[in-house]
Structure 1
């Protein structure tokens, strides 16, 4: 499966954490490389930041995105898996466009998370209309917001049996 990979979109949401776990399982099973992608933008957007190009400001947001990607691996898996080749990308742009560009080659599989209650899913809709590879949509956890807040505070170490 050389050159083929499992591409997963990661945002830090519970649905994207479920997608990350499913993508790792798919990469293990198929022998493909896992490419985890987080899309990021500066708060003012590309057009305004292009007019006032401050590389330090842009670098700060890039590093913040990389940190969120690392945190997602910690939250979903307890760290980067050692038994799967992993590539982590923080790419500037809109999530749908970024994922479509990274998963553009034949033989790739794209994995995205989806909140079950989401009626407006622009990333899912965009990638399904723009990629040729199979798209695996993984539903996220459906639970009350109070429970979700509590689950976000739980670390991987909390599940280790003694």
Structure 2
């Protein structure tokens, strides 16, 4: 039996689906004693034609702010006291989540994030994670209003 603390990785992108996934992961960690790594990943936007490049430091800073706000909101709403690491990663979200999940016990993702078709049942990132993760994956659906 391992005495190591269980690790949960959760994807955050600022969407309501990711907020639900973060809340689920925090409740799970509160009940199980697990540590949570909340991860946001970004890549440079694709431009067609000419466009002004956005400095990486600005994107890093915005991603860090979005992640910090999401974590603060979830912790405040749930009132949980769990260990939370926050990571900003430059890279494709699905790949960054899979890399972070290499030594994790559980990966938690929202069913849909900011991309793709809003009517899709499962987003491309969550679908990729389900098929390729090195650990169990929980896909959290948004609550319908």
One fold, TM greater than 0.5?
Answer: yes
Q: How many residues align?
A: 133
How far apart are 1:67 and its partner, in Å? Answer: 0.4
Correspondence 1:83-98 to 2 at 5 A? 83-98=81-96
Judge conservation of contact 1:41–1:94 (CA < 8 Å) in 2. Answer: yes
Alignment of 1:30-45 (within 5 A): 30-44=32-46
Q: Which runs of 5+ in 2 are unaligned?
A: 48-52, 113-117
State the superposition RMSD in angstroms: 2.6
Max Rg structure: 1
Question: Is the CA contact 1:95–1:123 (under 8 Å) kept in the aligned structure 2?
Answer: yes
Which runs of 5 or more residues in structure 1 are unaligned?
46-53, 144-162
Could you list the runs of 4 or more consecutive aligned residues of structure 1 that deviate by over 4 angstroms after TM superposition?
79-82
Contact (CA 8 Å) 1:41, 1:92: kept in 2 or not?
A: yes
CA distance in 1, matches of 2:78, 2:60: 20
Q: In the alignment, is the contact (CA less than 8 A) between 2:39 and 2:86 conserved in 1?
A: yes
Distance 1:37 1:18, change over 3 A: same
TM-score by length of 2: 0.79
More helix by share: 1
Q: Deviations over 1:98-138 (max 9, x none)?
A: 10000012x51001111494245111111112112110111
